[in-house]
Amino acid sequence: MKKVRIGIVGLGFMGTTHFRIYRKLKNAEIAAVSDLDPAKLAGDISKVVGNISEEDNSKPLDLEGVKAYSKVGDMLKDASIDIVDICVPTPDHQKISTEALKKGKNVFCEKPVCRTLREVEDLAVCARKSGKFFNAGMCIRAWPEYFHVSNLYKEGKLGRIRSAFFRRLSPDITGNSWKNWFMDGNLSGGALLDLHLHDTDFIRFMFGRPKAVTSFGVNSVRSKGGTDHVITNYHFDDCLIAAEGGWAANKKVPFEMSFQMVFEKATVRLAGEGYRIYWENGQVETPQVGDSALPTGWHKELSYFVDCVEKNVQPEKYQNLSEIIDSFKIVMAEQESVDGGKTVSIKY
Ligand SMILES: NC(=O)c1ccc[n+]([C@@H]2O[C@H](COP(=O)([O-])OP(=O)(O)OC[C@H]3O[C@@H](n4cnc5c(N)ncnc54)[C@H](O)[C@@H]3O)[C@@H](O)[C@H]2O)c1
């Protein structure tokens, strides 16, 4: 069986996470890696740190049989690579994605798909014209508990939504990234774009387009020129939907991602007690959504994309580009609302 051949660009936290996931997929093989850092190209990932990883990075990556490129342009010339997986800092996403698509590669690009709305829109045009497959790492749509509740809701099993609250709180990540790029708001967009976008995108995915947003935020606690902590009310008819995200807390604080959604027929929570559904008839259900082979949304989205490329089937399950553009517009409206101190309507 011919395996799908992958080239990974950027071997930081996400690149090494993707590397380990592909290594376990039966229908994928890592053909090449590219990074600006010679130590990482030699397999030394001892300086890589991530938010919810328990991997041991003191051991070098096994790069036997994997070509290593210091220039991504050279990797893109390798005609045998089927998927280019982009895990570099956000400002380089559009340029490398565009180059790869133009070279006839399928592209998986980490989120945020770009740094600005203009870049996302240009990239979407390029992806459509290329005829190749393009997916972005909006992994929360594929994350087991989130995917499960969104399916129950779309199948009508939960009834109408009354209120929903989402949280994504990270400890301070100063010093964790390459050249500390996360802490420069011009590069990362702060916690609002880099972290909280996950919940904004999931809200768009599950409940559709909010008309407006009212956001409160605090800037430059940790990152220069970036919103470090935000709380947003998304304006929908007949329900209250809100989300909070930030990385302003102390370094020792554990990472938290949680939600509570109150529907007509049930309340669904991912919280301290785990993932539970509290049905109106009094029954409390603990759905088993785990999959030992593909335990996280990262595993599911990458495995799905590899399967689609292998079978030449358009990937449609977890995302589409027009929804990603919507999410970007919403998160940019949140930034405007934080900056201007008022509610911002969203033009789609
Ligand atoms: N989906 C998620 O849950 C999630 C989690 C963390 C990060 N991310 C995203 O993944 C992307 C990467 O983040 P990270 O945490 O891995 O960052 P990182 O700082 O840990 O790693 C970035 C890597 O890219 C390399 N690099 C920088 N510019 C390059 C270039 N032009 N060509 C080749 N290599 C280059 C650096 O040497 C470094 O190894 C970001 O867009 C981030 O927002 C997504």
Nearest CA to ligand 1 atom 5: 14
CA 112 to centroid of ligand 1, rounded, Å: 11
Query: Residue 139: which pLDDT band, with cuts at 50, 70 and 90?
Result: very high
pLDDT digits (tens, 9 = 90+) for 89-101: 999 999 999 999 9
Query: Residue 74: which pLDDT band, with cuts at 50, 70 and 90?
Result: very high
Tokens at 129, concatenated = 């014209």
CA 11 to centroid of ligand 1, rounded, Å: 7
Residue 268, CA distances (Å) to 246, 263, 303, 304, 331 in order: 23, 8, 27, 26, 25
Atom of ligand 1 nearest to the CA of 37: 37
Mean pLDDT, residues 331-337: 97
Nearest CA to ligand 1 atom 28: 88
Asked if residue 50 has pLDDT above 80, the reply is no
Mutate-to-test residue for ligand 1 from 8, 9, 11, 13, highest number of ligand atoms within 8 A of CB: 13
Domains of the chain: 4-136 (3.40.50.720), 140-296+326-345 (3.30.360.10)
pTM for the model: 0.97
pLDDT digits (tens, 9 = 90+) for 155-201: 999 999 999 999 999 999 999 999 999 999 999 999 999 999 999 99
Atom of ligand 1 nearest to the CA of 16: 16
The pLDDT of residue 278 is: 98
CA 182 to centroid of ligand 1, rounded, Å: 9
Mutate-to-test residue for ligand 1 from 88, 116, 123, 195, highest number of ligand atoms within 8 A of CB: 88
CA 239 to centroid of ligand 1, rounded, Å: 36
The pLDDT of residue 220 is: 81
Nearest CA to ligand 1 atom 6: 14
The pLDDT of residue 52 is: 66
CA 149 to centroid of ligand 1, rounded, Å: 29
Atom of ligand 1 nearest to the CA of 178: 19
CA 323 to centroid of ligand 1, rounded, Å: 23
What percentage of the chain reaches a pLDDT higher than 90? 91
Of 205, 78, 80, 187, the C-alpha closest to 139 is 205
CA 12 to centroid of ligand 1, rounded, Å: 5
Atom of ligand 1 nearest to the CA of 139: 1
Mean pLDDT, residues 272-295: 96
- Pocket-forming residues, ligand 1, beta carbon under 6 Å: 9-15, 34-37, 40, 48, 72, 87-90, 92, 110-111, 137, 139, 177-178, 181, 194
CA 9 to centroid of ligand 1, rounded, Å: 9
Mutate-to-test residue for ligand 1 from 178, 187, 255, 257, highest number of ligand atoms within 8 A of CB: 178
CA 280 to centroid of ligand 1, rounded, Å: 44
